[in-house]
Structure 1
Amino acid sequence: MKIHKVVAATLKQLPRQHRIALASTSLLVCAAFLWQPSSTVSLGSYSQDQRVDVTLTTDLEKLSDMNSEPIGAVVDPKDPEFIVPKDELDQQLEEVDVAHTHKVASGETLGSIFSQYALPISTMYTLIDVNKSIQNLRVGQTLEWSVDDEGQIQSFAIKRSAKTTDTFTLTANGYSYEKVEESGVIQPVFLTGRISGSFYNSALAAGLTANQIQTLAQKLQWRFDFGREARKGDRFAVSVEREFIDGRAVNKGDVKAIYYLSGNREVFAMRYDDNFYDADGKSLDRALRRIPLSKRYRISSPFNPTRKHPITGRISPHNGTDFATPRGTSVLAAGDGVVVKSSKHPLAGNYIVIKHGREYMTRYLHLDKRLVKVGEKVTMGERIALSGNTGRSTGPHLHYELIKKNRPVNAMKVPLPQASPVPSKERKTYLRQANEERQKLLEVMPG
């Protein structure tokens, strides 16, 4: 008798409940076998230069999602290939502790803000241990911090109100906390000067601090470039709001407005509700788009500066956002700017770097084709490249990075500059205040 007939006859002799249990167990075993993932990887969809990488890494590490980069393929932002040339003003401002700011929005927590700007989460917990009130954030409050070249927070402040600021400062013994109460009177101070060398040195000579100069250079970057357009003989007047106690200034204050004359060219800007506008109430910012594509594509690998290698446990940061775009997809400039890099790199493949004023840069990696050259000016939405699969890549995609004040940030979450004018309901008030401020600066302007 054939084996299958013997098995069938034996099964018929079993009680009905036993036959049901045996059938259920067999189905579960088959399902588990079919579910087990295969350890082999098809190389058919990979280019010849990628096949070796996949073969070597498949059994050693968990790859990122398809249409991204292998976890071990980290592009070092300090690679000389990615270093962007700096003019004299950039070099001078580089010596200043860069102040980063963020206004708390609805639904945001201290943790989400730290993640947006790639700040160390371990430092956040250290600050909480120093004073737990740091977690109590309200919509509209302003955070300000500075970091060193290694990304360590040197100072952190929360402006709770017009009079109260919580400050955390890194000392030799760790972070110290102080609640600063402004008890003086805020008064305007006018600082004036004439360009005799560079704008930076002339502004220092006039009494402005390095941080105040940095504020002006960034806020007016689209209206007047102090590094390239300032000329000998130009005149300027700046109003600064300082706190006085018993007639003595207790801080350097914040810039309120500037009036700058270069030949027949007149530049005026005033701070209003933490933004800067011109004499007509138009924003001095240029907008940036969050996604440099004509439509949304699946994010195959999100921004994650603390990503760890699954085997070694070492930090393998992903400082950008990967979009699973088909090869040949149009890549658009995220904003107005100048192309400062357009080249090829072993890991990044074909890539482009665009500088947007003095505060922002964007990077576009793994491109199939570059459509712009170094030195070209681009506008927001202009086609600059075609996405591809060049360099170290697990499939066609676009790797997009947003750099703010020389540090990578999460382009999908951080607040982006908007070119909106003063709100219409406040326009009349602003225009009156701007005209008064302009007249005061004009009166103290050097002759």
Structure 2
Amino acid sequence: MKLLTNWLAATARLPRQHKLALASLSLLVAAALMWQPHPFTHHDERRSLPLIDEQQASMPLENSEPIEVGLDADDPALTVPEDALEQDITSEAARIHTHTVASGDTLGAIFSQYGLPLRQMYQILDVNQKAGDIRLGQKIDWQIDDEGQLSSLTVYQSIKYRDQYVFGADGVSYEQLETTGVYEQVTLSGRVTSSFYQQARQAGLTPNQIQNLVSALQWRFDFGAESHRGDRFSVLVNKEFIDNKAVSSGEVMAMLYQAGDRDIFVYRHTDGRFYDEQGHSLDRALRRFPTAKRYRISSSFDPHRKHPITGRISPHNGTDFATPVGTPVLAAGDGVVVKARKHPLAGNYVVIKHGREYSTRYLHLHRILVKPGDHVSMGQKIALSGNTGRSTGPHLHFELIKYGHPVNAMKVPLPEAHPVPRSEQDDFKRQARRAHQQLSQVLNS
């Protein structure tokens, strides 16, 4: 107390300017001591999403391509040529890619799996901060332009509502769309006189609907090679009507195609997939690993890989396995060999086409055991791994291509040949039989 009294007496003898300075300094010190930042301060800033581990890990340099060398996914020497049917489809409609959200998926992980530009993901989050709140089982589809950039992306919140993002020169626009109206089943039919594609368009099917049917039947019937003049077809489409006017192209529910004395029938189940009348799957399965034994992954799929020194983007569009020279390389699925040759960077390589949706590439091979035109089965030995082309060590570079774009073979959902679940088969067969009879009456009338 005595010290405080002496300090006040000394302060009273100070000049007025010194007293004001001392008072101001005391107030500042007191305010600094009392202030503490609140740990839950809200910011209206963009939220970042976690990326998968492969993007955060350093890129190993052994048993892989040199990091400064990026194989061009669009190199004509490595691409699968399109036939006339594919050219007709792609000339009028962009490919629609679809993903169903699985357990543990994030928006960032999905973009990474399919090699989509992360810059465009952040554009989506800028216009809708809730875009990253995806749920198990949600459907997401998108379209990609010739440069590999998103042109549109749709997130289906429910059967009734969907979020649509459209990319243009001015950025991205966001709109929540609502589905309304009454749905009715409409039958479209036609006879092939020039090509199935042209007659299907004349019958009222859209390019995307034709694409869906061609993809669904790719293992059962090749519309490009097996469709002939005189073939007949009828299609059941579930269309939306408002005031008796169709306001959408609708969803294809069933198709019956008569090629001579052969009938090809498919019916869409509640899971969105097509099956034959007995509920059997139309798909052929693909395997993730092109070897009998699982080898260490020396370099993962990373379309955004950067050179550690130059900082330039050097995409790695496949998965590298550290296989010794001479390791048997197996076909990832049933298909046709379309290329088997040598490339300055890829070395000895093989390209296999699996139906119309998928193809696979096998690079840096020691020896090729197949030739173009060969039909191969899943698990068939097609080559021996090696160290040819531009490579830093013996390894197998494996790529999975979906509609012409590389995707992560270790992550993306692969087609599986599962039938309709047993508990749902009776109901499915009853509805499929009814649809088959309805379409047969149209063709035979």
Q: SS of the residue aligned with 2:172?
A: strand
- Which of 292, 295, 300 aligns to 1:294? It is 292
**CA apart distance, 1:84:** 2.6
CA distance in 1, matches of 2:59, 2:415: 35
SS of 2:124 mapped into structure 1 = helix
Rounded Cα–Cα distance in structure 1 between residues aligned with 2:121 and 2:376 = 38
* 1:121 counterpart residue number: 118
Whole-angstrom CA distance in 2 between matches of 1:113 and 1:81:
28
CA contact (8 A) 1:192 1:446 kept: no
* Residues 91-106 of structure 1 aligned to structure 2 (within 5 Å): 91-95=87-91, 96-106=93-103
How far off its partner does 1:322 sit? 0.1
**1:171 corresponding residue in structure 2:** 168
Answer whether contact 2:161 2:177 (CA < 8 A) is retained.
Answer: yes
- Tell me how far apart the structure 2 counterparts of residues 159 and 446 of structure 1 sit (CA, whole Å): 39
AA matched with 1:65: L
Q: Structure 1's 300 and 199: CA in aligned 2 closer, same or farther, altered over 3 A? A: same
What whole-Å deviation, never above 9, does each CA across 1:302-344 have from its counterpart, x for those lacking one?
A: 0000001122211100000000001111100000000000001
Asked if 1:90 corresponds to 2:74, the answer is no
Q: What is the match of residue 136 of structure 2?
A: 139
1:314 aligns with 2:312: yes
Question: Which amino acid in 2 is paired with 1:383?
Answer: K
Q: Which moved more, 1:82-91 or 1:145-154?
A: 82-91
Offset at 1:139?
A: 1.1
1:148 pairs with 2:151: no
1:72 to 68, 72, 80: 68
Q: Give, in whole Å, the separation in 1 of the partners of 2:340 and 2:61.
A: 27
Match of 2:211 among 211, 214, 217: 214
Contact 1:195 1:232 in 2 (8 A): yes
Range with greater deviation from structure 2 (281-290 or 239-248): 239-248
CA distance in 2, matches of 1:355, 1:307: 27
CA gap of 1:63–1:168, structure 2 versus 1, over 3 A, is: closer
* Matches of 1:321 and 1:288, distance apart in 2: 16
- Quick one: which of 189, 197, 201 aligns to 2:198? 201
Question: What percentage of aligned pairs have identical amino acids?
Answer: 59
- Whether 2:411 is the aligned partner of 1:413: answer yes
Equivalent-residue separation in structure 1 for 2:436 and 2:78 (angstroms) = 42
Relative to the length of structure 1, the TM-score reads 0.85
SS state of the match for residue 445, structure 1? helix
CA contact (8 A) 1:280 1:431 kept: yes
* Cα distance in 1 for residues equivalent to 2:163 and 2:131: 8
> 3-state DSSP class of the match of 1:129?
helix
Distance in 2 (CA, whole Å) between partners of 1:171 and 1:317 is 25
Superposition deviation, residue 152 in structure 1: 1.2
Q: Which moved more, 1:241-250 or 1:286-295?
A: 241-250
Aligned to 1:389: 387
Q: Is the 8 A contact 2:73 2:405 kept in 1?
A: no
AA paired with 1:405? Y
Aligned partner letter, 1:296: R
SS at match of 1:212: helix
Q: Distance in 1 between matches of 2:347 and 2:59?
A: 19
Corresponding residue for residue 420 of structure 2: 422
Task: Output the CA distance in 1 between the equivalents of 2:377 and 2:64.
Answer: 27
Structure 2 length as normaliser, TM-score? 0.85
**What is the SS of the residue equivalent to 1:166?**
strand
Deviates more, 1:145-154 or 1:170-179: 170-179
- CA distances 1:84-116 after superposition (whole Å, capped 9, x unpaired): 332110111222211000111111111111111
Q: Distance in 2 between matches of 1:128 and 1:402?
A: 28
Pairing of 1:248-267 with structure 2 (within 5 A): 248-267=245-264
Which SS does the other structure have where 2:264 is aligned? Answer: strand
- 1:191 lines up with 2:188 in the alignment: yes
Q: Secondary structure of the residue that 1:386 maps to in structure 2?
A: strand
Quick one: distance in 1 between partners of 2:76 and 2:153? 31
Bigger mean CA deviation after superposition, 363-372 or 70-79: 70-79
Among 412, 433, 436, the alignment partner of 2:434 is 436
1:372 equivalent in structure 2:
370
Deviation digits for residues 351-370 of structure 1 (CA, Å, limit 9, x no counterpart): 00000000000000000110
Quote the residue 2:230 is aligned against.
Answer: 233
Is the CA contact 1:235–1:446 (under 8 Å) kept in the aligned structure 2? Answer: no
Q: Distance in 2 between matches of 1:104 and 1:323?
A: 27
Distance 1:128 1:270 in 2: 37
Q: Name 1:37's counterpart in structure 2.
A: none
Letter in 2 for 1:414: V
Q: Unpaired runs of 5+ in structure 2?
A: 1-57
- Once the two structures are TM-superposed, the CA of residue 73 in structure 1 deviates from its matched residue by 1.9
Q: What does the per-residue CA deviation read over 1:225-264, in whole Å, with 9 as the maximum and x for residues that have no partner?
A: 1000001000000111111112111111111111000000
For structure 1, the residue ranges without an aligned partner over 5 or more in a row are 1-61
Aligned to 1:228, the other structure's residue is in SS state helix
In the TM superposition, structure 1's runs of 4+ consecutive aligned residues that sit over 3 Å from their partners are none
Shift of 1:439: 1.1
How many angstroms apart in 2 are the aligned matches of 1:133 and 1:236?
44
Distance 1:302 1:369 in 2: 24
Counterparts of 1:382 and 1:434, CA distance in 2: 35
Q: Report the Cα distance in structure 1 between the residues aligned to 2:412 and 2:66, rounded to whole angstroms.
A: 26
Pick one of 122, 135, 157 that aligns with 1:160: 157
Between the two proteins, the alignment pairs up a number of residues equal to 386
Aligned to 2:32: none
How much does 1:405 deviate?
0.7
Q: Give the C-alpha shift of residue 63 in structure 1.
A: 8.1
For the residues of structure 2 that align with 1:107 and 1:72, how far apart are their CA atoms? Answer: 32
Partner secondary structure for residue 146 of structure 2:
coil
Residues 140-169 of structure 1 show CA distances to partners (whole Å, capped at 9, x for unaligned) of 110010010111111110111111111111
2-structure distance, mates of 1:312, 1:90: 39
Q: Which amino acid aligns with 2:284?
A: R
